Structure 1
Amino acid sequence: MSNDPWDDWETAADAGLIDCEKPKVSSTTASANQLLWENANKYATPTIIHANDAVHYKPELKILKRPEDAKSRKDIVAEKPVKAFADREKDYLEARRKIFEKFEIKK
C-alpha cells in the first residue's frame, strides 16, 4: 500500500492537505430544519365520517329499456344461415389443409 496521502480523502484530511471543516449552519437554518422535521413526524389522526353523519346523496333512478323496434337475440340467431354438416366439414378440412401447408413450407 502506498504512503501517498492523496490515495484517500481521510488520509489527506489527517495530513492537513484538504480542508474538512463542517459547514457552519446559522441558528435560523437549524431551527427551521428542526421545525420541518417535527412537522414531518407528526401523526395526523384520520377523520372518520360515519354514514349517519354524512349528507346522503340519492342517485336518480333511471330505467333503461331497448327501443321497441330493436331485434331480440332470438331474431338475430334465426336470421343467420345454418350450414349443413357436409359444408361445415368441407370448410374445416380446407382450413386445416391451409394451416398444415404453411408448416410444410417452413420445414
Structure 2
Amino acid sequence: MYVVLLEYTAPLDEVDYTLPDHVEWLKKQYEAGYFLASGRQVPRVGGVIIARPMVRGKLDALLATDPFAIRKLAKYQVVEFQATRTAPELARVNEAVMG
C-alpha cells in the first residue's frame, strides 16, 4: 500500500481554481479501484491519498495525470508500506491483492 503526501507549491487561490479538476481525477481513481482514502491535510498545506498495492511505476504514472501535478501546483512524497495489521475492511483489500 502507499501513503501519498501532497504538498502545495502554489498559492491556495491557484489550488482552489484547479480543485474541481483534481476532485474529478480522484473520482476516476476511486472508480478504477486504485484509491482507498483521500483528503486535505490540517492545516491546509496539501493532501493525503492512501492507495492500494500496485506496481510503483503505475502509481507514479497515475499521479502524473493529476491536474495538480500537470499544473505544477503540488509535489508528491510516496511512502510504500506493507500492512501487517489492518481493520477488517482493509484486511479484505489486502487479501484480494495478495491472494
State if a TM-score over 0.5 links the two structures. no
Task: Choose 1 or 2 for highest CA Rg.
Answer: 1
TM-score norm. by structure 2 comes to: 0.19
The higher-RCO structure (CA 8 Å, 6+ apart) is: 2
